[in-house]
A and B are shown apart, each in its own frame.
Chain A
Amino acid sequence: MIPAPQKHSYALGPGVVAPAMHPEYGRAIQELNNVNYPKAGGQPFVVDAGHGVGGPHQHTQYPYVTGTSVLALKYKDGIMVACDTLGSYGSTKRYKSMERMKPVGKFTLIGASGEYSDFHYIMKLLDELTTDDYCHDDGQNLTPTEIYNYLTRVMYNRRNKFDPLWNSLVVGGFHNGESFLGTVGMVGTCYTDSHVATGFGAHLARPLFREKQYDDMSEDEARALLEDGLRVCYYRDKNSINKFQIAKVTAEGSTISEPYALITEWGYEAFVNPAAAAVGTW
């Protein structure tokens, strides 16, 4: 006889015990599930993850599919954000048409580098919030600052659980005539500035931004500067491809461009024989 359930499943609700929790059936279910482990990696599908098969809940220990740098800056009409569309699997250029920028509500745009599935999870959290706003239908929507602060808390809390979301996020927004630009890292490190860049972009693109960016720059100037940033990142970052999207957030809302390529030049003499100017290297 099956004993009455002593505790309920968190996923299924009170009074219901998940099969995997059941002392009698636990082992059988586990064996069954062992057979069904996905061969390509990842977690097996279970209704009540963490209480079920395969031992204790696993934290993210390694990012799988990742995106590289996101660049963003303030300009006259709002915020401009740019990144390539590559999803790397280690060093493999695995997915070449991934959108790494997504709008949130009317005034905000998120750009993400790092683990792509974690980014999806973050977008799910944010979409729940915007859906909630929409359902209330009271004209109150989350502002870019609020979304930024929310994300900061989410990232920091996951870091506190030693189960970080493996991303660096860029939050750009335009609301009530004011533009907002901030970034949040994997452990919750966050700051706002007139220009930001994640990953390699912090080394390669931000020096250009520091030199040329000013808050009243025109859209054309901003685009040219961002493309310069993207170009140096593409030249030096092996995990990037020449397929970029540029997004902007202005008073009219956010728009994300179709992917396009930049003109590049690989024929420079310094590229052909890089060791010529550096005696002692190979």
Chain B
Amino acid sequence: MRARAKRRSNTLSTLFSSIPRSRCTTSGKTSVDIRSHHRSRRCFSGILILTLSYNVYWQIRPREGSQSRCYQKLNNLDRKMMLSAGPQQHGGPTQHASWSPYDNNGGTCVAVAGKDYCVIAADTRMSTGFNILTRDQTKVCKLTDKCLIASAGFRADAITLHKTLQTRGIMYKHSHNKSMSCVAMAQMLSNTLYMKRFFPYYAFNLLGGIDNEGKGAVYTYDAIGSYERTGYSCQGSGQALIMPILDNQLKAVSPLLVPPQDGATPLTQEQAVDLVKDCFATAGERDIYTGDEVEIYVINASGVHKQTQELKLD
């Protein structure tokens, strides 16, 4: 723990040297080696420049509907009340302190499905505004032995969602004497999100796992439950930075093909993990809500395996 504390205090030197960790390593043993990094740099530098001009802030900003309108109205009607110090007397017009039921704690999730494996990863930074709340908060939750969920967005909603899914998964197992399949879990997540259609969970989810045929599966969602099975996906604050990289490197299968094609990527498991690490290193360069550490889970026939990779702390 002490070593970690020291690492944190070195933030400034990391910042000024401006050498990201992934590029510091010279040993070929490290999973993100220089060659692969530079190769990928060349490949998608054009795309990167395009991407960086994107707005990296969140796309669906929660709005305070009636409340803010109410606040405005009171403001206009009773400017006089603002003069009196302190909280208002009972019975008089109330001065509203504005509050939003939502927060955005940022973070990025990436998932890649292969023929017989699935990689799902998320960074561990939790922020609010320009504050980093903690550098060590997992976004990934194991739902069954073959199915994991990763959620960016509002942490309190994500925790609630994870708890609900986990509980229902356990109840399913108790009543059916088998684990819920990944496909069923994906449908249930959609239903659970849509149940709160008019006060949505502000969580951006990826579900990854192995389906009943043993193939890798990635399900990608919006906040209100629309979902799609894909070969790879990315959600959260770094989405605009990472998604084009994945598109460039992996190529999505056209959904218009008949019969429908399998979306699984042709990469080996090791290649997929390397790609995910590169993605997070890239997003961490520009997105202030992505950093600190990335947790990478690989789900395959032998179970769930976790590894971590350090990201920049700035």
Q: Which residues of A contact B (CB under 8 A)?
A: 37-43, 61-64, 89-92, 152, 156, 159-160, 162, 164, 185-194, 202-203, 210-216
- For the complex, give the distance between the alpha carbons of A214 and B1 in Å: 7
The A interface is mostly helix, strand or loop, or mixed, namely loop
Categorize the interface residue count of chain B: 35 or more
Once the chains bind, are B85 and A62 in contact (CB under 8 Å)?
no
Complex CA distance for A210 and B314, rounded to whole angstroms: 13
Contact among B8, B95, B155 with A210 in the assembled complex (CB-CB below 8 Å): B8
Question: Which listed residue (A64, A185, A190, A194) contacts B159, Cβ 8 A?
Answer: A190
| Known A-B contacts A90-B85, A92-B85; A189 and B103 likewise in contact (beta carbons under 8 Å) | yes
Asked if A41 and B87 make an inter-chain contact with CB atoms under 8 angstroms apart, the answer reads: yes
Complex interface: chain A residues within 8 A of B5 (CB): 194, 213-215
Give the nearest-CB partner of B136 in chain A: A193
Cβ–Cβ < 8 Å partners of B8 in chain A: 210-211
Query: Which one of B41-49, B127-135, B224-232, B296-304 is at the interface?
Result: B127-135
Residue B90 CB within 8 A of the other chain: yes
Contacts of A193 in B (CB 8 A): 133-134, 136
- Given the contacts A210-B9, A211-B9, A187 and B101 also touching, CB distance less than 8 Å: yes
Q: List the A side residues contacting B101 at CB < 8 Å.
A: 159-160, 162, 164, 187
Contact of A186 among B9, B96, B99, B131 (CB under 8 A): B99
Q: How far is the CB of B291 from chain A (nearest CB, A)?
A: 14
- What does DSSP make chain B's interface, helix, strand, loop or mixed? loop
Are the C-beta atoms of A189 and B2 separated by less than 8 Å?
no
Say yes or no: A41 contacts B128, CB within 8 Å: no
Interface residue ranges, B against A (CB under 8 Å): 1-2, 5, 8-9, 11, 85-91, 94-97, 99-103, 105, 126, 128, 131, 133-134, 136-137, 154-156, 159-160, 199
Please give me the residue from chain A that is nearest to B89 by CB atom: A41
**Pairwise interchain contact A37-B90, C-beta atoms closer than 8 A:** yes
The CA of A92 and the CA of B8, in the complex, are separated in Å by: 38
Bound together, the chains give a CA A90 to CA B2 distance in angstroms of: 41
Measured in the bound complex, the distance between the Cα atoms of B91 and A40 in whole Å is 11
Whether B87 lies near A62 (C-beta < 8 A) is yes
Among B9, B94, B102, B156, max chain A CB count under 10 A is at: B156
A162's nearest neighbour on chain B, judged by CB, is B101
CA A59 – CA B137 in complex, angstroms?
32
Chain B nearest CB from A135 CB (Å) reads 28
Given contacts A61-B94, A189-B155, 6 further A-B contacts (CB under 8 A): A42-B90, A62-B96, A159-B101, A187-B99, A210-B9, A214-B2
Asked if residues B102 and A216 are in contact (CB atoms below 8 Å), the reply is no
Q: Are B86 and A92 in contact (CB under 8 A)?
A: yes
Across-interface contacts of B97 in A (CB, < 8 A): 61-63
For residue A178, give the distance in angstroms from its CB to the closest CB of chain B.
Answer: 13
- A188 to B155 CA separation, bound complex (whole angstroms): 8
Determine the chain B residues whose CB is within 8 A of the CB of A162 once the complex forms.
101
Quote the shortest CB–CB distance from A73 to chain B (angstroms): 11
B contact residues around A202 at 8 Å (CB): 131, 133
A34 to B11, alpha carbons, bound, how many Å? 61
State in angstroms the CA–CA spacing of A267 and B39 once bound together. 58
Alpha-carbon distance between A40 and B1 when the two chains are bound, in angstroms = 52
Contact B1 A152 (CB under 8 A): no
What are 25 A-B pairs with beta-carbon distances under 8 A? A37-B90, A38-B90, A41-B90, A42-B90, A43-B90, A61-B94, A62-B87, A62-B88, A90-B86, A92-B86, A156-B156, A159-B156, A160-B101, A162-B101, A164-B99, A186-B99, A187-B99, A188-B156, A188-B159, A190-B156, A193-B136, A202-B133, A203-B131, A211-B9, A216-B1
